[in-house]
């Protein structure tokens, strides 16, 4: 039996000697894989990752979808090849931070929409006639995929389609045309907006079936020594495919100069009095034949001076004006006379043209009480030897309203609906005869428009330089050689465009090393909208080097947790896209194991301090025999 004293001896008093240690598991960098997006299979798939903070290495890997090739997997930005339409691909971006701790990885999904590859078929060349195109067909069962032909540039071959929506449409080449035409075959998915295109060239050798040199004609006698004319043959070809037409001189009083023998409408110079015969010869696979034309040149009399008015448009905005001065050029040849006549507008009383047979004359009795236009003709008439020779020119006198005004949309600014970029802008005018517009401010310089004619109200604008404010300026004034009493008016409004913004991604959270008081953020690149960084919370106000770039530097950090927000704004009618990221500046570890204590054998609750975010604590004991944590 154990005595009470002995039982007391087995009560063991143990004094713990314990140590506590704290470690910081930091991630002093962040990754941003971007936001999910959709492309067409004909487009290049580019992964636009952004890395922030201290980066040791980074790696893109594909985690789902058919196998592809990541061209530069260790680069944050890299192209991917081998994509196939109709699939969704997932890629993951992982980085190892400068402190060798792996940052949180991020993934991105890319949807690749399919679209058939357009093939316009082989080029066509030949004589005028009908041919069948040979573009590729496609599956139309979905109802979303369409195909259509289009002429690019000038239609020199004279192509007409029987069905522009058919890949094998027949085309007709006109026998009045010669040359080449480029055709484009487009396949478009109207639901996904994916498009593929291909071109082919159609060459028309030309050649009308019957060679025609044109009708015989007699020229004017209004010349002194030599004269000229233009021939008018049928289409003979321009040498393409060996099809060609050629003018030749057959007979006449001298050998004139045919400026371009292979042009069916060439000019012939150096003609003198007499009868000429010219031959139009057509040869080639499409048409052959020849025809002749007779040109009769009467005896020379005298050249006629070309009539020229000094001011083609005289404009008055003063209703009290009743007179104007008309000026024409002085005749150059002896015996020529001049004549002013009224040929348009309200009829003036006899004698209103004060000196009708003088190059310069006054016009009286004009009425400017309301807008109107008077038209006067200036004629130079040949003398006794060529009295049938006349040259003419015209001038106009305009009366406009004296007060010029313009108002755009009743003076109100315009805010367009979400994703609306085309707008009809109404405007009202008074007085003047010309309205022009310009865009003097835009979100991007590509949206600026220099002063140009506006046409009729409303003015249609396509504002495609991104979201933001466009400043439209319109000008109303008068145009003419002489402007009397006419003023100018202008007006401006702002037009705001809102677009669906790029989704915001602020990047992964990061934990900085002890003593690291700066880092860089990692927002995704923005294609639509303006991105802005701001600080939401933190133990102090940090310094962001540039709030409008994706990965600015942040300095002035002190121990604690910061939240930074990345916001994409694309206009007042657009939803705001935002994302937050946390940056933790680790507090230097301070271990507090609690007060010393003497305990009996058994279980005891230790009283160490709680680690800060990003820190872990570890208990150790010495001696360790018999101690279990």
CA 326 to chain centroid: 47
Quick one: CATH architecture of 26-113?
Sandwich (2.60)
- What would the pLDDT profile of 79-122 be if each residue is shown by its tens digit? 999 999 999 999 999 988 876 666 678 999 999 999 999 999 99
Mean pLDDT, residues 417-439: 92
Joined tokens for residue 298 = 């009467």
Q: Which residues contact 289 (CB under 8 A, 6 or more apart)?
A: 210, 211, 281, 282
How far is the C-alpha of 514 from the C-alpha of 585, rounded, in Å?
7
How far is the C-alpha of 106 from the C-alpha of 250, rounded, in Å?
86
Phi-psi category of residue 272: left, alpha or beta, with phi > 0 → left and psi -120 to 50 → alpha: beta
The arrangement of strands across the sheet holding 69-70 comes to 45-48, 77-81, 69-70
Map out the domains of the chain as residue ranges.
Answer: 4-23+593-612, 26-113, 124-204, 217-297, 313-399, 405-498, 510-585
Mean pLDDT, residues 209-227: 92
The arrangement of strands across the sheet holding 313-316 comes to 337-344, 372-381, 390-399, 313-316, 482-484
User: Pairing between strand 29-32 and 50-53?
Assistant: antiparallel
CA 169 to chain centroid: 31
DSSP line for 481-541: SEEES---EEEEEEEEEE-PPPPP-----EEEPTT---EE--PPP-SSSEEEEEEEE-SS-
pLDDT at 381: 94
* Contact (CB, 8 A) for 104 and 27: yes
User: Pairing between strand 77-81 and 45-48?
Assistant: antiparallel
Q: Which CATH class is domain 510-585?
A: mainly beta
- What would the pLDDT profile of 449-498 be if each residue is shown by its tens digit? 999 999 899 999 999 999 999 999 999 987 777 667 677 888 999 999 99
Which comes out higher in pLDDT, residue 12 or 574?
A: 574
Which comes out higher in pLDDT, residue 281 or 15?
A: 281
How far is the C-alpha of 578 from the C-alpha of 600, rounded, in Å?
58
pLDDT at 16: 41
Assessment of whether the complete model's pTM goes beyond 0.85: no
CATH for 217-297, options being 3.40.50.300, 3.40.50.2000, 2.60.40.10, 3.40.30.10: 2.60.40.10
- Residue 19 pLDDT level (bands cut at 50, 70, 90): very low
pLDDT at 516: 82
- What would the pLDDT profile of 511-543 be if each residue is shown by its tens digit? 887 778 899 999 999 989 999 999 999 999 999
Least confident interval from 289-298, 307-316, 593-602:
593-602
Q: Measured at the alpha carbon of residue 26, what is the angle toward residues 22 and 27, in degrees to the nearest 5?
A: 170
Q: Would you say the CATH fold of 510-585 matches that of 217-297?
A: yes
* Contact (CB, 8 A) for 218 and 388: no
- Residue 27 pLDDT level (bands cut at 50, 70, 90): low
Joined tokens for residue 345 = 């507008």
Mean pLDDT, residues 344-366: 95
Q: Is the confidence at residue 22, as pLDDT, over 50?
A: no
User: Cis (ω within 30 of 0) for the bond into 360?
Assistant: no
Which comes out higher in pLDDT, residue 255 or 319?
A: 255
pLDDT at 101: 60
Q: Which of 335, 492, 311 is nearest to 398 (CA)?
A: 311
How far is the C-alpha of 415 from the C-alpha of 498, rounded, in Å?
8
* Contact (CB, 8 A) for 42 and 196: yes
CATH of domain 313-399: 2.60.40
Least confident interval from 217-231, 462-476, 487-501, 587-601:
587-601
How far is the C-alpha of 315 from the C-alpha of 482, rounded, in Å?
6
Q: Is the confidence at residue 391, as pLDDT, over 50?
A: yes
pLDDT at 512: 83
Which comes out higher in pLDDT, residue 568 or 616?
A: 568
* Contact (CB, 8 A) for 375 and 344: yes
Q: Is the confidence at residue 398, as pLDDT, over 80?
A: yes
- Residue 66 pLDDT level (bands cut at 50, 70, 90): very high
Q: What's the whole-number average pLDDT of the chain?
A: 88
User: What Å distances lie between residue 127 and 130, 150, 282, 449, CA to CA?
Assistant: 9, 21, 13, 45
Q: Is the confidence at residue 405, as pLDDT, over 80?
A: yes
Name the fold adopted by 124-204: Immunoglobulin-like (2.60.40)
Q: Is 545 exposed, middle or buried (0-12, 13-18, 19+ CB in 10 A)?
A: middle
- Residue 196 pLDDT level (bands cut at 50, 70, 90): very high
- The percent of residues above 90 in pLDDT, for the chain, comes to 67
CATH of domain 405-498: 2.60.40
How far apart, in Å, do the first and last CA atoms of the chain sit? 35
Mean pLDDT, residues 261-282: 96
Taking the CA atoms of residue 91, residue 96, residue 97 and residue 103 in that order, the dihedral angle to the nearest 10 degrees is: 50
């Amino acid at each position: 039996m154990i005595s009470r004293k002995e039982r007391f001896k087995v009560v063991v008093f143990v004094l713990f000697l314990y140590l506590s240690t704290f470690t910081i598991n930091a991630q002093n960098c962040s990754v941003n894989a971007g936001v999910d997006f959709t492309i067409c299979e004909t487009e290049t798939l580019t992964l636009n990752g952004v890395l922030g903070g201290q980066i040791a290495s980074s790696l893109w890997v594909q985690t789902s979808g058919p196998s592809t090739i990541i061209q530069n997997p260790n680069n944050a930005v890299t192209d991917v090849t081998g994509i196939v339409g109709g699939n969704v691909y997932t890629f993951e971006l992982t980085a190892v931070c400068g402190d060798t701790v792996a940052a949180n990885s991020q993934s991105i999904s890319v949807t690749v929409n399919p679209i058939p590859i357009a093939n316009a078929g082989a080029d066509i060349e030949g004589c005028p006639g009908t041919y069948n195109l040979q573009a590729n067909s496609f599956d139309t069962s979905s109802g979303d995929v369409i195909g259509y032909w289009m002429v690019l540039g000038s239609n020199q071959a004279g192509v007409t389609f029987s069905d522009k929506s058919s890949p094998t449409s027949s085309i007709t080449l006109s026998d009045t045309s010669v040359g080449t035409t480029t055709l484009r075959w487009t396949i478009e998915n109207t639901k996904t907006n994916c498009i593929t295109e291909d071109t082919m060239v159609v060459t028309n050798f030309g050649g009308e079936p019957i060679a025609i040199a044109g009708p015989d004609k007699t020229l004017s006698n209004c010349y002194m020594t030599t004269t000229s004319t233009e021939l008018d043959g049928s289409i003979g070809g321009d040498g393409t495919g060996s099809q060609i037409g050629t003018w030749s001189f057959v007979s006449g009083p001298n050998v004139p100069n045919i400026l371009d023998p292979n042009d069916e409408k060439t000019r012939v110079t150096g003609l003198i009095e007499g009868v000429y015969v010219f031959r139009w010869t057509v040869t080639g696979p499409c048409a052959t034949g020849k025809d002749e034309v007779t040109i009769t040149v009467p005896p020379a009399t005298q050249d006629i001076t070309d009539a020229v008015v000094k001011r083609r448009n005289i404009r008055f905005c003063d209703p009290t004006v009743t007179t104007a001065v008309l000026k024409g050029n002085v005749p150059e040849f002896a015996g020529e006379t001049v004549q002013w006549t009224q040929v348009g507008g309200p009829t003036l009383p006899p004698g209103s043209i004060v000196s009708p047979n003088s190059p310069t004359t006054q016009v009286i009795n004009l009425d400017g009480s309301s807008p109107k236009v008077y038209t006067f003709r200036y004629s130079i008439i040949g003398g006794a030897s060529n009295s049938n020779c006349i040259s003419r020119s015209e001038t106009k006198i305009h009366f406009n309203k004296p007060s010029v005004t313009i108002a755009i949309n009743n003076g109100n600014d315009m805010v367009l609906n979400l994703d609306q970029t085309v707008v009809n802008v109404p405007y009202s005018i008074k007085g003047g005869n010309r309205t022009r517009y310009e865009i003097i401010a835009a979100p991007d310089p590509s949206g600026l428009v220099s002063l140009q004619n506006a046409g009729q109200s409303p003015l249609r604008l396509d504002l495609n330089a991104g979201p933001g404010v466009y400043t439209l300026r319109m000008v109303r004034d008068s145009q003419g050689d002489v402007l009397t009493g006419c003023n100018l008016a202008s007006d401006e409004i702002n037009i705001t465009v809102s677009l669906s913004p790029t989704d915001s991604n602020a990047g992964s959270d990061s934990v900085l090393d002890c003593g690291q008081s700066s880092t860089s953020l990692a927002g995704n690149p923005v294609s639509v909208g303006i991105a802005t960084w701001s600080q939401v919370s933190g133990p102090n106000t940090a310094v962001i080097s540039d709030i409008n770039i994706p990965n600015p530097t942040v300095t002035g950090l002190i121990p604690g947790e910061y939240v930074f927000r990345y916001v994409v704004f694309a206009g007042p009618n657009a939803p705001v896209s935002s994302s937050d990221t946390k940056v933790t500046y680790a507090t230097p570890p301070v271990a507090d194991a609690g007060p010393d204590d003497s305990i009996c054998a058994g279980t005891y609750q230790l009283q160490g301090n709680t680690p800060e975010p990003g820190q872990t604590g570890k208990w150790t004991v010495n001696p360790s025999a018999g101690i279990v944590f």
